[in-house]
Amino acid sequence: MTAQRRAEVGMMEQDSKASRAAKQTAAMVVGTVPIIIGVLALTSLVTAAVPPQTICDLLPMESLLAPFLGGLVGSIAAGHPVVSYVLAGELQAAGVGLATTTALIVSWVTVGIFHLPVEAAILGARFAIWRNVICFVLAIATGYAVAFLMLVGG
Amino acid sequence: MGATRGTAVPRKIIGAWLFPAAVAALYAATALFSPAIAAQALKSFGALLANITPAMVLVFCLIFLTNLFIDRRWLARHLGKTSGVRGWVFAIVAGILSAGPLYAWYPLLGDLKAKGMRGELIAAFLYARALKLPLLPLMVQYFGMAFTVTLSLCIIVFSVISGLLVKAIPGIEDADAGGNR
Q: Chain-wide mean pLDDT for chain A? A: 84
Q: Which of B45, B131, B149 would you mutate first to test chain A, the one with the most A CBs within 10 A?
A: B45
DSSP run (H or E) holding B171: none
Least confident of A11-15, B61-65, B118-122: A11-15
Q: Does A133 touch chain B (CB under 8 A)?
A: no
Domain that holds residue B143: 72-168
ipTM at complex level: 0.75
Q: How many domains does chain B contain in total? A: 1
Q: Is the pLDDT of residue B178 over 60?
A: no
CB contact under 8 A, A123 and B177: yes
Q: What span, in angstroms and rounded, lies between the C-alpha atoms of B7 and B12?
A: 9
pLDDT category at B163 given cuts 50, 70, 90 is very high
Chain B: closest CA distance from residue A128 (Å):
9
Q: What span, in angstroms and rounded, lies between the C-alpha atoms of A56 and A49?
A: 14
> What does the pLDDT look like over B8-40, one tens digit per residue?
567 767 777 888 899 999 999 999 999 999 999
- Is residue B57 in a domain? no
Considering CB atoms only, which of A24, A35, A106 is closest to B130? A106
Residue B111: how many CB atoms within 10 A of its CB? 23
Mean pLDDT, range A103-130, rounded to an integer:
90
- Is residue B65 in a domain? no
Q: Chain-wide mean pLDDT for chain B? A: 83
> What does the pLDDT look like over B82-111, one tens digit per residue?
788 889 998 999 888 887 777 788 888 888
- Is residue B142 in a domain? yes
pLDDT category at B3 given cuts 50, 70, 90 is very low
Residue B29: how many CB atoms within 10 A of its CB? 11
Q: Does A5 touch chain B (CB under 8 A)?
A: no
